């Protein structure tokens, strides 16, 4: 494997403007009736802004009499910290920025107080406009997190519902458990909205359309699974009527993904099945689990008999997010990150890299109060600040405000540029082979063992004259390299040992130990 240092870059609401879709021209993206939608070839970088920007974990101003009466009360301008990383996003090979909650909330962002106000811990509308503009200048599409399933128990609607009772107009907009508001997944401070109520549906669609008018390109719909697809379908119909080009990504953890996507109208669903299979099969050296999940994934993308009913769709694929343990902390042998990265980069779907994973960020989610903080860390103001402030232990030691998430920590400081370069190389291959976004996939059963496998990827839906040659992705979790066929054209090799410890490139014509190879 050839390695190189990462580039210097590594490190009133409605308006008549609209952000241009950041499609890859070479991949043939672009929203029209005859062309693929812009998001089909998207590569995403996901950020949890409250942690990333160093916002206090909890609001201390909610008891102020003036709270919410004047825009600008208690505002601290932190959102521009993300702007300092946009060139890093591009250098990585991504073109879509997915932001977790940025709207006015009590603590972690999923306890919303106002969907029409930027969280004052992050800034104000002008800060968001600046971020939208900075993304637009770079051809980056921006997707916001829509937390519409539930709101804070301090939300004005909930307060009004409690005052007026369940039979009041406000009371009809929330769910009840007897005489008490219904708490989302047992959390009394997160009150579920009644998404089947037409007034709620209309308000959610209005909010979504207002921000799309403002210049964003799509929505991630948090906890979409909770209310069910039938509740969401009328909302998305109203959004589609005004913004047919918007990308709608639904968070669905379990269930019949294809049926949910079709019934709700969502474009994409979070592929938690594949996420679990990747880290679990690698950690347990059981690629049979991965093979089963790949069969399911193929059925999601192209249709099949074993995944329920519904039309095919493009899932969002990922190795981690703001709710999960970091992939570098999931895998006991850091060399095996090479296999995970190759799967994310080359399997069909819409890949999303959780900010920091491309440099080997570590962090473990714990089931306790504050147990998410370690996977939602504070980032420095720019990649340059990271390079200058990171210590030998891999933790950034810059200025860390009191009462925020812990700072970004990496698996190994020297390895960070090499991990970044591997992402660049693999995502570059995906860009050059644009058909991979919708490729057909199958596991070569004759090659399958606990520690190694050959995955075949072939173009789908192209005219014969336009059809490129397919490729094969070889994975090797063993301690010894595997020989490739003599006639194989090696497109790239990723050696986990070289990536992590710079031990030298892999031998030509092999699948490196704890590594991967893509071949014709």
Residue 373 has pLDDT above 70, yes or no: yes
E strand intervals along 148-304: 150-152, 176-177, 180-181, 183-184, 187-192, 218-221, 247-250, 268-269
Q: Which structure tokens are listed for 78?
A: 């932190």
Residue 500 has pLDDT above 70, yes or no: yes
The helix (run of H) or strand (run of E) holding residue 160 is helix 156-164
pLDDT computed for residue 28 by the predictor: 30
Question: Among the listed ranges 59-73, 96-110, 312-326, which one has the minimum average pLDDT value?
Answer: 59-73
For residues 218-232, one letter each, b for 16 or more C-beta atoms within 10 angstroms of the residue's C-beta and e for the rest, the string is bbbbbbbbbbebebb
Residue 23 has pLDDT above 90, yes or no: no
pLDDT computed for residue 393 by the predictor: 85
Percent of the chain with pLDDT over 70: 89
Residue 60 has pLDDT above 70, yes or no: yes
Task: Tell me the angle at which helices 198-214 and 125-138 cross, rounded to the nearest 10 degrees.
Answer: 60
pLDDT computed for residue 356 by the predictor: 98
pLDDT computed for residue 403 by the predictor: 87
Residue 390, CA distances (Å) to 162, 298, 379, 386, 499 in order: 49, 41, 11, 6, 19
pLDDT computed for residue 516 by the predictor: 98
Q: Give the pLDDT mean for 365-393.
A: 93
pLDDT computed for residue 391 by the predictor: 87
CA angle 195, 192, 170 (to 5 degrees): 70
pLDDT computed for residue 18 by the predictor: 24
Question: Among the listed ranges 52-66, 115-129, 262-276, which one has the minimum average pLDDT value?
Answer: 52-66
pLDDT computed for residue 1 by the predictor: 35
35 pLDDT band (50/70/90 cuts)?
A: confident
465 pLDDT band (50/70/90 cuts)?
A: low
Strand partners, 143: 98, 218
Span 245-303, pLDDT tens digits:
999 999 999 999 999 999 999 999 999 999 999 999 999 999 999 999 999 999 999 99
Q: Give the pLDDT mean for 132-140.
A: 98
Residue 106 has pLDDT above 60, yes or no: yes
Residue 442 has pLDDT above 80, yes or no: yes
Q: Give the pLDDT mean for 187-212.
A: 98
Residues 170 and 161: beta-carbon distance below 8 Å: yes
Q: Which structure tokens are listed for 310?
A: 């519904």
DSSP 372: T
pLDDT computed for residue 308 by the predictor: 62
Mean pLDDT of all residues belonging to the chain: 90
Q: Tokens 């173009």, residue? A: 459
Span 326-364, pLDDT tens digits:
999 999 999 999 999 999 999 999 999 999 999 999 999
81 pLDDT band (50/70/90 cuts)?
A: very high
401 pLDDT band (50/70/90 cuts)?
A: confident
Residue 65 has pLDDT above 80, yes or no: no
| 9 against 518, higher pLDDT | 518
- Which of 305-319, 395-409, 433-447 is the most confident on average? 433-447
Span 161-184, pLDDT tens digits:
999 999 999 999 999 999 999 999
377 pLDDT band (50/70/90 cuts)?
A: very high
Residues contacting 369, CB < 8 A, separation 6+ = none
447 pLDDT band (50/70/90 cuts)?
A: very high
399 pLDDT band (50/70/90 cuts)?
A: confident
């Amino acid at each position: 494997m050839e390695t190189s240092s990462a580039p210097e870059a590594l490190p009133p609401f409605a308006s008549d403007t609209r952000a241009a879709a950041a499609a890859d021209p070479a991949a043939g993206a672009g929203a029209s009736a005859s062309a693929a939608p812009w998001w089909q070839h998207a590569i995403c970088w996901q950020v949890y802004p409250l942690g990333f920007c160093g916002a206090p974990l909890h609001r201390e101003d909610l008891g102020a009499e003036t709270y919410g009466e004047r825009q600008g009360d208690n505002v601290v301008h932190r959102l521009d910290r993300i702007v300092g990383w946009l060139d890093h996003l591009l250098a990585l090979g991504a073109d879509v920025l997915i932001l977790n909650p940025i709207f006015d909330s009590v603590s972690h962002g999923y306890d919303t107080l106002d969907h029409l106000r930027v969280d004052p811990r992050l800034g104000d509308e002008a800060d968001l406009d600046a971020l939208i503009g900075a993304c637009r200048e770079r051809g980056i599409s921006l997707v916001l997190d829509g937390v519409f399933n539930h709101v804070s128990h301090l939300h004005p609607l909930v307060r009004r519902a409690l005052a007026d009772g369940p039979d009041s107009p406000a009371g009809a907009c929330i769910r009840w458990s007897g005489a008490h508001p219904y708490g989302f997944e047992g959390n009394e401070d997160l009150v579920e909205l009644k998404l089947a109520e037409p007034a709620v549906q209309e308000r959610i669609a209005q909010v979504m359309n207002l921000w799309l008018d403002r210049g964003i390109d799509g929505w991630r719909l948090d906890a979409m699974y909770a209310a069910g697809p039938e509740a969401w379908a009328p909302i998305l119909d109203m959004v589609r009527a005004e913004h047919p080009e918007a990308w709608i990504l639904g968070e669905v953890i379990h269930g019949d993904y294809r049926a949910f996507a079709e019934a709700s109208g969502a474009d994409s669903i979070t592929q938690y099945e594949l996420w679990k299979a990747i880290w679990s099969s690698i950690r347990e050296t059981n690629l049979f689990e991965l093979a089963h999940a790949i069969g399911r994934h193929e059925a999601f993308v192209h249709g099949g008999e074993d995944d329920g009913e519904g039309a095919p769709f493009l899932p969002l694929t990922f190795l981690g997010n703001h709710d999960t343990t970091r992939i570098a902390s999931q895998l006991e042998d850091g060399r095996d990150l090479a296999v995970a990265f190759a799967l994310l980069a080359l399997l069909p779907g819409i890949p999303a890299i959780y900010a920091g994973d491309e440099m080997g960020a570590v962090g473990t989610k714990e089931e306790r109060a504050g147990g998410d903080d370690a996977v939602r860390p504070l980032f420095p103001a720019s990649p340059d600040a990271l390079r200058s402030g990171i210590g030998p232990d891999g933790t950034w030691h810059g200025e860390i405000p009191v009462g925020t998430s812990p700072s970004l920590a990496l698996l190994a400081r020297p390895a960070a540029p090499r991990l970044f370069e591997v992402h660049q190389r693999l995502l570059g291959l995906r860009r050059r082979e644009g058909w991979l976004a919708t490729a057909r996939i199958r596991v070569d059963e004759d090659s399958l063992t606990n520690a190694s496998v050959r995955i075949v990827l072939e173009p789908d839906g192209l005219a014969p004259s336009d059809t490129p040659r397919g490729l094969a992705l070889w994975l090797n979790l063993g301690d010894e390299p595997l020989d490739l066929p003599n006639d194989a054209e090696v497109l790239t090799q990723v050696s986990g040992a070289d990536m992590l410890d710079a031990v030298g490139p892999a031998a030509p014509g092999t699948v490196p130990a704890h590594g991967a190879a893509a071949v014709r």
